[in-house]
């Protein structure tokens, strides 16, 4: 059993011999010999200062034009020039040589026409060309063609200009036929006594009564509280808005139509 000594004990005052751990052997590369031999072998090349001394070329021996080009012999040059010369397609049909300056050219048919007078007459008798209409749209004078600009009333030159379009003719015919059918239906109902026409006095009195009712509902609507936070207030407000909307529809109906028919019960 090992002896146990606390941290603070008298035995710690006794000097102890320090035990040193042995160091591992030093690492030696296996290529050490070859590296040293190579260094000794190449060390002599760097003993001098600066680059190796070489012979400086003479200034008279400078590079001249076409120095490195291959030079052909006279016979080879002639052969190469004949090969590069273009060959005529029709060697048998050669063109005649250029005439000498002393030779007189052979003229064809002679004419006494004076082209100067002819041009003058044509210029005098020609109709002057009308200028093309243009328009300018900027202060710098940019010109544009007037015909393609849409500013000229070209539609008045059409064949059907001023006539009613076909689709409008059909629509007007359908409206007229529907109005005739409606008038026939109203006359038949009036003969049967199923409806009657309101007079102007009845129409005005009905219209005034609807407007008074709308004013009364509007007064009640304006008297509502600013904060509507209960279900009863919300329902009351919605009922007033619905009744006012119905009255507005009836008033608009009476004001838009000139003749009003009322069905008999």
pTM of the model: 0.35
Select the highest-mean-pLDDT range: 70-74, 103-107, 202-206: 202-206
Q: What is the pLDDT of residues 26-62, one digit of tens each?
A: 899 999 989 888 888 776 655 656 666 778 888 888 8
**For residues 2 and 82, which has the higher predicted lDDT (pLDDT)?**
82
What gap in Å lies between CA 214 and CA 219, rounded to an integer?
Answer: 9
Q: What is the pLDDT of residues 136-181, one digit of tens each?
A: 988 888 899 988 888 888 888 888 888 888 999 999 999 999 999 9
CA 209 to chain centre: 63
Give the pLDDT score at 41.
Answer: 78
Q: What is the pLDDT of residues 204-242, one digit of tens each?
A: 999 999 999 999 999 999 999 888 889 999 999 999 999
- pLDDT, average across residues 106-128: 85
- pLDDT, average across residues 180-198: 81
Going from N- to C-terminal start, the domains of the chain cover 133-193, 197-263
What gap in Å lies between CA 98 and CA 104, rounded to an integer?
Answer: 12
DSSP string, 82-126: HHHSPPPS-SSSPPPPPPPTTSPPPP-------HHHHHHHHHHHS
Give the pLDDT score at 44.
Answer: 63
């Amino acid at each position: 059993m090992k002896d146990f000594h606390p941290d603070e004990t008298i035995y710690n005052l006794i000097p102890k011999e320090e035990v040193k751990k042995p160091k591992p052997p030093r690492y030696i590369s296996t290529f050490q010999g070859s590296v040293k031999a190579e260094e000794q072998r190449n060390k002599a090349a760097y003993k001098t200062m600066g680059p190796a001394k070489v012979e400086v070329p003479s200034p008279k021996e400078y590079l001249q034009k076409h120095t490195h080009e291959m030079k052909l012999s006279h016979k080879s040059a002639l052969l190469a020039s004949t090969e590069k010369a273009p060959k005529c397609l029709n060697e048998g049909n050669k063109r005649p040589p250029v005439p000498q300056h002393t030779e007189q050219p052979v003229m064809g048919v002679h004419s006494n026409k004076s082209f100067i007078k002819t041009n003058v007459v044509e210029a005098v008798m020609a109709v002057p060309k009308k200028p093309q209409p243009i328009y300018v749209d900027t202060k710098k004078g940019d010109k544009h063609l007037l015909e393609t600009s849409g500013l000229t009333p070209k539609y008045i030159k059409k064949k059907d200009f001023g006539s009613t379009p076909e689709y409008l003719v059909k629509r007007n015919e359908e409206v007229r036929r529907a109005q005739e059918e409606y008038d026939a239906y109203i006359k038949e109902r009036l003969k049967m006594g199923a409806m009657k026409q309101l007079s102007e006095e009845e129409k005005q009195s009905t219209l005034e009564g609807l407007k008074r009712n709308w004013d009364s509902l509007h007064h009640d609507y304006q008297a509502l509280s600013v904060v509507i936070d209960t279900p009863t207030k919300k329902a009351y407000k919605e009922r007033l808005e619905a009744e006012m909307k119905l009255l507005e529809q009836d008033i608009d109906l009476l004001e838009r139509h000139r003749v009003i028919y009322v069905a008999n019960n």
